[in-house]
Structure 1
Amino acid sequence: MSTLKLYSTEGGVIEVTPRLAEVEADVQHLIEAHMETMLGVRFLASEYSTGPVHGGRIDSLGLDENDAPVVVEYKRGTDAGVINQGLFYLAWLMDHRAEFGHLVRERLGAAAASRVRWSAPRLICVAGDFTRYDAHAVREHRRSIDLVRYRFYGEQLVGLETVASATGQTVTTGTARRRRAAETTRGHLTQGATAELAAAVDETLLGLGQDITKTENRLYRAYRRLRNFACVCPPQKTKLLVYLKADPQEAGLVPGFTRDVTRLGHHGTGDLEVQLRSERDLERARDLFRLSYAAA
């Protein structure tokens, strides 16, 4: 159980007692109504039927910031079967890609449907608590799984805490493997001096916390807690571009170093672009990385 204590400072210092939901549906309805804000996942469907043969209902379906399909399962308290139940539905989803693609096209449009990344499907389990065996199972499993503990505080506050998270093994087709190999070869020819800088950025971002997972696609590498907080594009000849979730106005803009890309098209997620050309730039960017991490 979480040891976090929350206090109200109105009229003195009073501890706000955490509580579980009255019923599981209270958690599900709240998160589905605000899924993109709370989980970084675009909501697609609730209580999605898997058909008469399979005989089940997926609590929530969504698409994350990196275009990966997401199954979300909820439990009011601690339930030893939540991970296996979620994996059961994730396996069904992998076998019904066309059906999911149709759902994405219907809800988010054809462009979103064309970008769905089947190489990295995710399961998010939201529950009152998890056992140490659950956390161990996540680390040992081949799938991308997030265990998220919730708590209500009073009538207006809710907290989410990542208990365990794992990226799992990427499912790669033969075509994707060949494409990745070609991109890697091209990358070695263009990275030059920025390769070492890219490795330092990777180490710095992963070092911000134990709840960070890394997801890669051909356009960028995403670092996330539940939501992305940094996206690193492939190294260019003279610089490395990192996109952060930090507020550009709060971070402050420095010409040649940081840029507000809120209304500009770019790969990855985040409105603050950071341009890194040297280790000195990386040192300057550390506080921005921490700011974005805290906001995710």
Structure 2
Amino acid sequence: MSGLKLFHTTEIGVTEVVPRLAEVEAAVQGLVEAHMETVLGVKFLASEYSTGPVHGGRVDSLGLDENGSPVIVEYKRGVDSGVINQGLFYLSWLMDHRAEFEHLVRDRLGVTVAAQVLWSSPRLICIAGDFTRFDMHAVREHRRSIDLVRYRLFGKDLLGLETVASVSGRSPVVRRVRRQVAVPGGGQSVALVELAQAVDETLLGLGDGVNCVQHKTYRAYQRLRNFACVCPPQRTKLLVYLKADPKQMDLVPGFTRDVTGLGHHGTGDLEVQLRTERDLDRAQRLFRLSYAAA
């Protein structure tokens, strides 16, 4: 990983664990597919999925992310400038074969999940040994959601993933939607609408590569995975769900709540209730903790 050094510590000293690339590309693919939901926040659907005789290719991995967005994952053992173009080729195929993908989701995850596939923000995740500066530039020129992830293997059983670039093809659209919802209505006070705007700006400003995805019932903020989900303003409060561990928090009644195992919109087990700008100030540390863990 860039600039990262890992050491194994013992009573007699420390030994550096030297990072390495996989012997073959399939080793990386197999490792990620076996634990895809844990490492990427994506439910695994299929491996080496055929695009048919016309396209004549195979998608390395197909999945569905936390928000219901279709995901294509492409792997390269080392540096390969073709990984992005290859992934975009398959992403175009996917958009032309929505019914086929939904049928796959229905078979793997059920009818309810298949009916909620979010086609407005399909994603491409490229996992490789490294990327060039040309790759970094290229992803910013495409109107697609693309994540470039650098991997390294450490020792016998450690996998490191580093998101080196993340862009959202929906960013301009999300910005327009945010300005439009700043119109009082449905019992929402002007103060709460303005608070929702301030939360949006705060979450997007936590660091580079924060993408925002508009779901039917919430707005998700993600790096590689969701780190915050914001529900539409209620009459007296705004609910934000974070990927922070409630058991590690000093919960404050009326401000933070453990919703582990409780049904709610969005993802995350820590509920934060915001009513005023002061609450937003109090929540800053929690936002940063969740962002750092994503």
Q: TM-score, normalised by structure 1?
A: 0.92
Q: CA deviation at 1:183?
A: 7.3
Q: Residues of 1 paired with 2:170 and 2:70: CA distance?
A: 15
Q: CA deviation at 1:189?
A: 6.0
Q: CA deviation at 1:66?
A: 0.6
C-alpha change, 1:198 and 1:242, in structure 2 (3 Å) is same
For 2:245, give the aligned amino acid. Answer: D
Deviation per CA, 1:184-241: give whole Å up to 9, x if none: 7675862421122122212222222213211112311111111101001112232110
Per the alignment, residue 74 of structure 2 pairs with 73
Please point out which of 285, 290, 293 is paired with 2:291.
Answer: 293
Per the alignment, residue 211 of structure 2 pairs with 213
Q: CA deviation at 1:181?
A: 11
For 1:83, give the aligned amino acid. Answer: I
Per the alignment, residue 176 of structure 1 pairs with none
Per the alignment, residue 170 of structure 2 pairs with 169
For 1:120, give the aligned amino acid. Answer: S
- Higher mean C-alpha deviation, range 252-261 or range 59-68: 252-261
C-alpha change, 1:118 and 1:181, in structure 2 (3 Å) is farther
Give the 3-state SS of the residue equivalent to 1:90 in structure 2.
Answer: helix
Q: Residues of 1 paired with 2:87 and 2:275: CA distance?
A: 43
Q: Residues of 2 paired with 1:201 and 1:257: CA distance?
A: 15
Q: Residues of 1 paired with 2:150 and 2:79: CA distance?
A: 10
Q: CA RMSD in A?
A: 2.2
Per the alignment, residue 149 of structure 2 pairs with 148
C-alpha change, 1:104 and 1:185, in structure 2 (3 Å) is farther
Deviation per CA, 1:231-276: give whole Å up to 9, x if none: 0111223211000011111122211011111122111100111000
Per the alignment, residue 44 of structure 1 pairs with 45
Per the alignment, residue 12 of structure 1 pairs with 13
Q: Residues of 1 paired with 2:187 and 2:104: CA distance?
A: 40
Deviation per CA, 1:78-119: give whole Å up to 9, x if none: 001000000000000100000000000000000100000111
Q: Residues of 1 paired with 2:186 and 2:130: CA distance?
A: 45
Q: CA deviation at 1:279?
A: 1.5
Q: TM-score, normalised by structure 2?
A: 0.93
Per the alignment, residue 251 of structure 1 pairs with 249
C-alpha change, 1:71 and 1:188, in structure 2 (3 Å) is same
Q: Residues of 1 paired with 2:216 and 2:236: CA distance?
A: 20
Q: Residues of 2 paired with 1:186 and 1:106: CA distance?
A: 42
Q: Residues of 2 paired with 1:6 and 1:61: CA distance?
A: 32
Does the CA contact (< 8 Å) of 1:229 and 1:295 recur in 2? yes
Q: Residues of 1 paired with 2:183 and 2:57: CA distance?
A: 45
Per the alignment, residue 56 of structure 1 pairs with 57
Give the 3-state SS of the residue equivalent to 1:208 in structure 2.
Answer: coil
Q: Residues of 1 paired with 2:95 and 2:13: CA distance?
A: 53
Per the alignment, residue 158 of structure 1 pairs with 159
Does the CA contact (< 8 Å) of 2:183 and 2:193 recur in 1? no
Give the 3-state SS of the residue equivalent to 1:116 in structure 2.
Answer: coil
Q: Residues of 1 paired with 2:216 and 2:179: CA distance?
A: 11
Deviation per CA, 1:23-77: give whole Å up to 9, x if none: 0001000000000000010000000001112110000000000100000000000
**Unpaired runs of at least 5, structure 2:** none
Identical residues among aligned pairs (%): 73
Give the 3-state SS of the residue equivalent to 2:13 in structure 1.
Answer: coil
